[in-house]
Structure 1
């Protein structure tokens, strides 16, 4: 059964659209996240995969080049391939970065906010022409940073609409992993995909896996398969269930920022390791490496050979609520690290 370990690699806009006079976006330091003992962000993620001989699918956000320049994007790309492992590097787009391309962005955003303007973080709400304009810029930045055009797309905040697929296909993006039913369900009923791949207007959509941990009749409590939001025991249970049912691919989502927390909100260069999430990733990679006869850890582009099916009802993966106490304990551990990092709350 195919398993895709995907990671969104993006800079931190750091509230700059809400408080443009006082907040400043954070660049490569917010992705590399240097702690005592080394890089506890992108470097930890890449090195953990490489140590277990696993490939990852990395979605690099490129509209941020408006603010930080293409060289900053290239720096991330170089780190992903630093150890010689053939990881997948593809395109990620957050529309918020389009507002930070001018030298006077602080004044212009402050004035706009006083007049009632608010940023739109949802690609799905854009017109096809506006989306295409942003996509063309993002592709150009991606090509400048990597030397090639992207093949796979992931929408920022997993915000996707049916109208976006013809635009993606026109630009050679014939695969997408942008549906996250548990956190941002699309308005289009056809895109209500829990875990099954489906074809739309020449694009194969391979959703980030959603599952249920509680149900009552037709109602189901949805969750997304992530490192930050699931215990290792839950992830393992879902993988075993998917294997038994012949499902796949199972797509897991993480971020470089999930393995540490900032010591101070005002100082992005200082971080503390978040051992709960670090341990989950390490346990998952060790498990998948040891179970290579059952699980094929691969890339999304390698899933292009999957049959293109029409949308239809599917039975979601599900687990019982027995892991809730463990999840709550982990959540409190994360909270303790966060409070320690931020210091006294005044």
Structure 2
């Protein structure tokens, strides 16, 4: 059986903080996925998972507690635990630049892999303790923010008793992910004292890896990647998203394309007798010599269909945003209803 691990990087936005968002506004946008049409964040995601009988994994970043205080992490963790989904550890070290207290002195960096081994141990240990203090069971798995981990990260995790890491993403090899593993092998394998669980995916063109992420893969690609994993005898299929990923890029409206993709992924996992749903808590360790799981080869027409689909999806959201902005402007003018009627006809 192949374990489908559907995970969500669950994080507040350092960018929103820099733009002046307080804790309440950041939480509403980044965690609840709140927009004018409703909430499309973690509760919406858990609702969808549960309708299909699935369990999700929420990689929660506790580092904003250094800026906003620990209560905001409690508000993230406790509903996830109460509903029976899994909480694991995530870290975005960008928050150190704004922290009231920096546990590693003056050191800052975008990625956990930017820090020396001793500092990584201290940061991961502190983040783990904040997560446990918020009500999460002791985490056994870790994912670096921006997938920005290196081999020292895995050594730090091993020294702190973590069993799994899921920071290896072939799409980020040139963007901060420097774990020294073969990107053409998607099998779970032991590395630097922990079991590395790579993000799944496929090749969308020669030499280019496409990760199994809701905003990155079409429904067709996700089904093909899942099918390839099961047919190859993989222990796991690891897909991921974010707590806010079901919103449009400006977070103003729900992203219908991403929502449809998540629904299709949940349905594909639930309907496949070769696949089980779950997280890391009961994931078996790999055999001493696991056979490699090679990345599925590219299919140019499949890639083209996704490019067209994503282009249209982006256009729909941008056109809606611009149209609504124009409508509000016109409604505030003396032309009002007549001009709005023309816009409705054009839409």
Fold agreement, TM-score > 0.5: yes
Counterpart residue number, 1:307? 287
Alignment partner, residue 243 of structure 2? 256
Question: How far apart in 2 are the matches of 1:207 and 1:157?
Answer: 14
Aligned residue number for residue 232 of structure 1: 219
2:210 counterpart SS class: strand
Structure 1 residue 240: deviation in Å?
1.4
Name which of 260, 266, 281 aligns with 2:262.
281
Q: Contact conserved, 1:194 with 1:209, CA < 8 A, in 2? A: no
1: distance between equivalents of 2:299 and 2:205?
A: 7
8 Å contact kept, 1:3–1:296: yes
Q: Which residue of 2 aligns with 1:322?
A: 301
Separation in structure 2 between the aligned mates of residue 118 and residue 277 of structure 1, nearest angstrom: 37
Q: Which runs of 5+ in 1 are unaligned?
A: 106-116, 264-269
TM-score (norm 2): 0.82
Alignment partner of 1:195 out of 177, 186, 202: 186
Q: Is the 8 A contact 1:193 1:207 kept in 2?
A: no
Structure 2: gaps spanning 5 or more residues: 327-347
Deviations 1:118-175 (A, max 9, x none): 9631221210012122112211211111253211111111112112222111211121
Pair 183,147 (structure 1): closer, same or farther in 2 beyond 3 Å: closer
Aligned counterpart, 1:181? 170
Aligned residue-pair number: 315
CA offset digits 1:267-297 (Å, max 9, x no partner): xxx7311100000101111222122x11112
Kindly report the root-mean-square deviation, in angstroms, between the aligned alpha carbons of the 2 structures. 2.7
The residue aligned with 1:80 is 80
Corresponding position of 2:28 = 29
Deviation at 1:344, TM superposition (A): 6.1
What is the CA–CA distance in structure 2 between the aligned matches of 1:243 and 1:323, rounded to whole Å? 20
User: Which position in structure 1 is the counterpart of 2:337?
Assistant: none
Distance in 2 between residues matched to 1:121 and 1:207, nearest whole Å: 21
Q: TM-score, normalised by structure 1?
A: 0.82
Alignment partners' CA distance in 2, 1:344 and 1:183: 36
Distance 1:101 1:315 in 2: 42
Higher strand share: 1
Residue 87 to residue 148, structure 1, CA distance change in 2 (3 Å): closer
The answer to whether the Cα contact below 8 Å between 1:198 and 1:205 also exists between their aligned partners in 2 is yes
Residue of structure 2 in register with 1:90 after alignment:
88
Q: Which of 97, 100, 112 is residue 99 of structure 1 equivalent to?
A: 97
Which residue in 1 is equivalent to 2:335?
Answer: none
